[in-house]
Amino acid sequence: MRLVGKSEAELMAGGMVMPYVVAFITDLMLGILLSIILPKLGARNFVDGMRYAFLLSFVFVFATGMTTYGFSARPMQLSLIDHLYHVLCISLMGGIIAAWKPKPGRAPMSVRA
């Protein structure tokens, strides 16, 4: 909270429902995109999924986010916390999606018409 420059009361005054709704929707979108991209990259297990998701998130999330933070004159520690957290979460999401196997007799989502 010190890096953001706000007290706990100021952060709580903004309401807590909408950030969770937005986070759920955007994480769902990320998961769907990863479930489409990872099979095309050849990710077949947890490690492959994490590796590809890490590379994608590092370039798209970390690099662009750090550029934004650089121009907004926010503390570097806050930038690292905000962006490396997302890189870690997306990497784990990629590992889980790549390791997830469809039920027997059911075609994977990427193969269906």
Phi/psi for 15 (5° steps) reads 90, 145
Alpha-carbon distance 56 to 67, whole Å?
16
Alpha-carbon distance 76 to 9, whole Å?
24
Residue 89 domain boundaries: 44-100
Distance between the two ends of the chain, CA-based, in angstroms? Answer: 48
State how far the alpha carbon of 5 is from the alpha carbons of 10, 29, 33, 51, 78, in Å.
Answer: 10, 30, 34, 35, 11
- pLDDT tens digits for range 4-14: 566 767 666 76
- pTM higher than the cut 0.95: no
Number of domains in the chain: 1
- pLDDT tens digits for range 75-87: 888 888 888 999 9
- pLDDT tens digits for range 20-31: 899 999 999 999
Residue 76 lies in a domain: yes
SS3 call for 36: helix
Residue 20 lies in a domain: no
Residue 54 lies in a domain: yes
Residue pair 109/35 in contact by the 8 Å Cβ criterion:
yes
Look at residue 51 and tell me whether its pLDDT is greater than 60: yes
Residue 18 lies in a domain: no
